[in-house]
Amino acid sequence: MNTNKCFTLITGASEGLGKALAIECAKRNMNLLLVALPGPELNSITNLIQCNYPVTVIAMGKDLCRNESCLELYNEVIALDLEINMLINNAGIGSTGLFAEGCPSIFEQQIKLNVLATTMLTRLFLKKLQCNQHSYILNVGSMASFFYLPKKQVYGATKSFIYFFSRTLRKELKKSNVHVSVLCPGGMNTNIGLTMMNKAGSYIGRLSVMNPEDVVPVALDGLLKGKEVIIPGKLNNFFMLLDKVLPAAIKKLIGSQGMKKLNHTHSLSRYTSPAMIPVVVPTSSG
């Protein structure tokens, strides 16, 4: 068992990117407080790490869409007297579809989980993070943070919030011991639905898709080095460059073609992949 008393809190740690982050942190000898919806997936990742790595793992099943959950989680951490030196706000849900056809309750959940829970957990845990010599906050945004993606209006907006929130908070905390980074991945094969959707994407879209296991070392290295915005993958960085240099009229044209393509393939799904980005190469929000 390691002698480190600090814990890394990861939300959405039972699946996908959060699970990969938890395993990578365990490999780096970091104790873990894993949060996800209560259920067998959370137990299974907890057992897997406990059996394979010499770190302490605590699991807390919480529905972070519930208003009271963040405060409950915080109070449980206080009651256990845990020191938290890294907060990874990863839990998030996405969707694809026309706004007019979208399910209001999905939009509500998305905003509650992607925006509200991230904001509340950051606010609640900030004082605890400030108690350590060095602490870190990693907020998970998306390539969708930067673009006006058709049929991802609410998801994209929540991820833009994460991007601007993180960068502003970083400025506020510049002279403190708390380092804030925002991770903006493109499409990832994090679950079966997304993997299938990614396989059906455009050629360039498929090339840009990454496995979460390849994203997490980049994310953690970037965070520990104090990088402000972490964009994993050469192709995703190339898309960002392209967005800066392409004239607005060309981006608009490509964007409207992408929209037509999506109209043919439309079906409302709970999740959507930013691997669609190269299909639409939309105009930047910035």
Task: Point out which residues bind ligand NAP (CB under 6 A).
Answer: 12-18, 36-37, 39, 41, 62-65, 90-94, 113, 140, 142, 185, 187-188, 190-191, 194, 273-274
The minimum distance between CB 269 and ligand NAP, in angstroms, equals: 12
**Beta-sheet strand order (sheet of 6-11):** 57-61, 31-36, 6-11, 83-89, 135-140, 178-183, 229-230
Taking the complex as a whole, how short is the minimal distance between the CB of residue 64 and ligand NAP, in angstroms?
4
* Nearest C-alpha neighbor of 254 from the set 284, 279, 229: 279
Residue 252 C-beta: closest distance to ligand NAP, Å: 24
If the CB atoms of residues 210 and 254 are measured against ligand NAP, the closer one turns out to be 210
Q: Cβ neighbours of residue 214 under 8 Å, at least 6 residues apart?
A: 232
SS3 (DSSP) at 61: strand
Nearest approach in angstroms of CB 94 to ligand NAP is: 5
Residue placing its CB nearer to ligand NAP in the complex, 107 or 177? 107
Residue whose entry in the numeric block shows the structure tokens 């992949």: 273
- Name the token pair of 273: 């992949």
| Cα Rg of the chain (Å, integer) | 19
What phi and psi, each to the nearest 5 degrees, are found at residue 275?
A: -65, -10
CB of 1 to ligand NAP, least distance (A): 26
Least separation in angstroms between residue 143's CB and ligand NAP is: 6
Nearer to ligand NAP, 204 or 252 (CB): 204
Residue 18 or 282 having the CB closest to ligand NAP: 18
CA distance 90 to 205: 23
In the complex with ligand NAP, the residue whose CB is nearer, 14 or 96, is 14
Shortest Å, Cβ 3 to ligand NAP: 29
Nearer to ligand NAP, 26 or 91 (CB): 91
Q: Which two tokens stand for residue 2?
A: 């390691």
Residue number with CB closer to ligand NAP (31 or 114): 114
Cα dist from 137 to 167, 186, 228, 286, whole Å: 11, 20, 11, 23
Q: How far is CA 201 from CA 103, 135, 198, 258, 277, in A?
A: 24, 38, 5, 11, 10
Q: Which is nearer to ligand NAP, 92 or 278 (CB)?
A: 92
- DSSP H helices in the chain: 16-27, 40-52, 69-79, 104-110, 118-130, 153-172, 192-199, 203-208, 212-224, 234-245, 248-264, 277-280
CB of 225 vs ligand NAP, minimal distance in Å: 21
